[in-house]
């Protein structure tokens, strides 16, 4: 139902996106999108690039007087660093300065990055042609697109938030907090962790890695509350909601694994202690005392909160580079150096929220249809009323 494409290079003039299939009548403002872009930028562990960029979206079509029109929506984010790169990255060959292009050429691929694989695929010797698009800089425009999805699902009473579970060896404890408390406390943390002691340990891990010119990975968790049952489908593999969610999150650079509910942690747990029993009382109706399934059964939401986690690898651009091979000389050397972050796990959590929100918005449109927000809201209200006995535990 929802389709989008992004375009743009890391050091090109701008990042752009076109979103098709978004309903009319949804209130969309630059301020709401920019607030999410700022969250992506200011997390602990980011590098020098974020001191240059001040991400701000321009809405160039599909919105009038703050309301979506039902026509394609076009978004753009300018790269402020373009001023320093236009003589290298221009699409006009006459504007390229050969000596500067040669100085910025990358022929020493970084292990763990798309450099070598992409160069082989598209026959690029200058791997800058690869890294400029493979760069995680593209996720800025994905956050902008995902914010549209967030706005839509929030208008239906659905909320999404994230928190960081682990960075390096620092791990957050098991929480006894409500989801609201977890969301509020993690929102005030520089690393997105609700536990202050764990957050301090995570920042200490990042500081030590920065001193060693190394990088760190970790785990973040995304939680969505207020989801109605029945989103997604079990009838085909490509209509299962977990298929779409996993693809959306795995599409974030550096994400190497996704689990829904107990996921990998349930590998050694017997079925009698894995699955969520179904209970019913006159006061609460049908409910689950646990949520190990993470709100999805058979590819369909069951009315419980959606809970998923993603594993983020340490990013591959290191201050002390690993061994590589120069593609021109074919001699062993050290990998190229590029500006980089130390840890992108907290930023990855923000990106994760965005792509999950968009996947859920798509599932909502598939379930309820409608060309306008009013139609979708009315159909969602009716469906919630019909399934009102399913009251998930808060």
- DSSP tag of 7: E
Q: Which helix (H) or strand (E) holds 373?
A: helix 373-386
Q: Quick one: DSSP state of residue 43?
A: S
List, in order of start, the domains of the chain with CATH numbers. 3-386 (3.60.150.10)
pLDDT at 61: 98
Q: In this structure, what token pair is assigned to residue 115?
A: 């450099």
pLDDT on residue 388: 74
Interatomic CA distance for residues 367 and 376, integer angstroms: 9
> What's the CA gap between 56 and 250, in Å, rounded?
25
- The whole-angstrom separation of Cα 210 and Cα 251 is 26
Q: Which two tokens stand for residue 145?
A: 């697109």
Instruction: Give 3-60 pLDDT, tens digit per residue.
Output: 999 999 999 999 999 999 999 999 999 999 999 999 998 788 776 666 667 899 999 9
Q: Please state the rounded mean pLDDT for residues 332-342.
A: 90
- Contact of 30 with 59, CB cutoff 8 Å: yes
Predicted model pTM:
0.94
Q: Is the pLDDT of residue 389 over 60?
A: no
- What is the tens place of the pLDDT at every residue in 120-162? 999 999 999 999 999 999 999 999 999 999 999 999 999 999 9
């Amino acid at each position: 139902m929802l389709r989008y494409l992004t375009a743009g290079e890391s050091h090109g003039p701008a990042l752009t996106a076109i979103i098709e299939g978004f309903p009319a009548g949804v209130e969309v403002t630059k301020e709401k999108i920019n607030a999410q872009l700022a969250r992506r930028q200011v997390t602990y562990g980011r590098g020098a690039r974020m001191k240059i960029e001040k991400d701000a979206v321009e809405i160039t079509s599909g919105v009038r007087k703050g309301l979506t029109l039902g026509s394609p929506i076009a978004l753009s984010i300018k790269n402020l660093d373009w001023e320093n790169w236009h003589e290298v990255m221009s699409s006009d060959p006459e504007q390229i300065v050969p000596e500067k292009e040669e100085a910025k050429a990358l022929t020493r691929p970084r292990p763990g990055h798309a450099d070598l694989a992409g160069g082989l695929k598209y026959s690029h010797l200058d791997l800058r042609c690869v890294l400029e698009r493979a760069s995680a800089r593209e996720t800025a425009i994905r956050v902008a697109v995902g914010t549209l999805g967030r706005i839509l699902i929030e208008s239906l009473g659905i909320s999404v938030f994230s928190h960081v579970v682990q960075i390096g060896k620092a791990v957050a404890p098991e929480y006894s907090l409500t989801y609201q408390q977890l969301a509020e406390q993690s929102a005030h943390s520089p690393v997105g962790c609700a536990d202050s002691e764990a957050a301090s340990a995570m920042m200490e891990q990042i500081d030590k890695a920065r001193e060693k010119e190394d990088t760190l990975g970790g785990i973040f968790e995304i939680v969505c509350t207020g989801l109605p049952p029945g989103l997604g489908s079990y009838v085909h593999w490509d209509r299962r909601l977990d298929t779409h969610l996993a693809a959306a999150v795995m599409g974030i650079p550096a994400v190497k694994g996704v689990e829904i509910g107990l996921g990998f942690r349930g590998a050694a747990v017997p079925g009698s202690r894995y699955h969520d029993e179904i209970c019913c009382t006159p006061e609460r109706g049908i409910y689950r005392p646990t949520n190990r399934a993470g709100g999805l059964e058979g590819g369909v939401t069951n009315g419980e909160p959606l809970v998923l986690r993603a594993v983020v690898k340490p990013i591959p651009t290191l201050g002390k580079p690993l061994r590589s091979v120069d593609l021109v000389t074919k001699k062993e050397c050290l990998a190229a150096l590029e500006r980089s972050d130390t840890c992108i796990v907290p930023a990855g959590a923000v990106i994760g929220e965005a792509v999950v929100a968009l996947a859920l918005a798509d599932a909502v449109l598939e379930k309820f249809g409608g060309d306008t927000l009013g139609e979708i809201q009315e159909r969602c209200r009716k469906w919630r009323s019909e399934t009102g006995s399913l009251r998930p535990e808060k």
